[in-house]
Structure formats: structure tokens, C-alpha cells
Amino acid sequence: LDYITAIGGSAIHCLAGKVPVDQRPAAERTYIANLMRAADMAAEKNIVILIEPINPRDRPDYFLNRPEHAADIIAKAGKSNIRIQFDFYHAQIMEGDIIRTIRENIQHIAHFHTGGNPGRNELDDTPELNWRTIAKTIADLNFQGFVAHEFVPKRDPLTSLREAALLCDV
């Protein structure tokens, strides 16, 4: 918290960690208790706690896999400064139907991450997602947070970043 405050940040991404299936009920109780404690401390500094569903193909046994699970955790924690970091790459792998998922969870989302799928590469290299339509949906929902690009470029990184920004500019 001291570091994020010193650099003028507004959010901290708190990883859920890996948990074997048989330990998930106990892990959920611990995770919620830890998030509540972190959220209380962060609220004093006007900081948002971000939780990110991550697909189990890339991170086997990762505790948090779906936006709906993240929304449930947020509801159970009952802290207004715990929000979702929605990563398109992970969400597409887990369930697709991105626009419906965004609409159903927008009230819990504070940050978006782009990333092409398959491969987490450039956005224009992604036949599965229509980035302009996604960006328009986010804008139409009056989203006030950040949409950040988190992909592994196959080409020149700065050119790829400029292209991604243009593709999502609505």
C-alpha cells in the first residue's frame, strides 16, 4: 500500500493462488477473509483491490477461473473496493460469449486487459474476438476504468501497441 500510494496508483492486483480441488472450500474462506482485510486497509488510501479470473489451461489449479466466481467472491466479501480485473484472453478460453459476460459483470469490473486468443498475441491476429464491437460495448456501458493491452507481440512491440490502441479506439 505504501508503494502504490507513493507512485500515485489507484489499484492493486491481488492474485488468488493455486489451490487443489479438495482444498477449495477452505481456500475460499481464507481468500475472502484476506481480501476483506486487504480491502479495509486499501480503503483508507482510496485503493481498489483487483481480482482476476485466470484460465486453468495456463495456470492449473488457479483458484479463480471465471468472472461469475469473482463476482460471487466480491458479494461474499461485501467490500465496495474489491473489483474484477477482466482479462479477455482468459475469459475467451473459459467461456467465450465475451459481450454477455461483460454486460452481466460490468458493475464489478474496474480494469480490462486485452490479449489475442489463441496465443495471447496482437489483437489483429485474433480471429475469435471482434475488438471494435467489444470496445464499443464497454464505452456504451459508460465504463470509467482502464482498458490495458497485455499481449505478447510477435511483431515490433510499439507498432503492435499502436495498432491495438487504434483497434480499440471507439
State the catalytic residue, choosing from 28, 128, 150, 163. Answer: 150
Active site residue 104: no
52 counts as catalytic: yes
Q: Write down the catalytic residue from 52, 95, 104, 128.
A: 52
How many Å apart are CA 83 and CA 107, to the nearest integer?
A: 9
Q: Is the backbone peptide bond immediately before 118 cis, with ω within 30 degrees of 0? A: yes
Nearest to 32 by CA among 22, 44, 43, 40: 40
The secondary element (H helix, E strand) that includes residue 146 is: strand 146-149
Indicate the residue type of 162.
R
- What residues are labeled active site? 52, 150
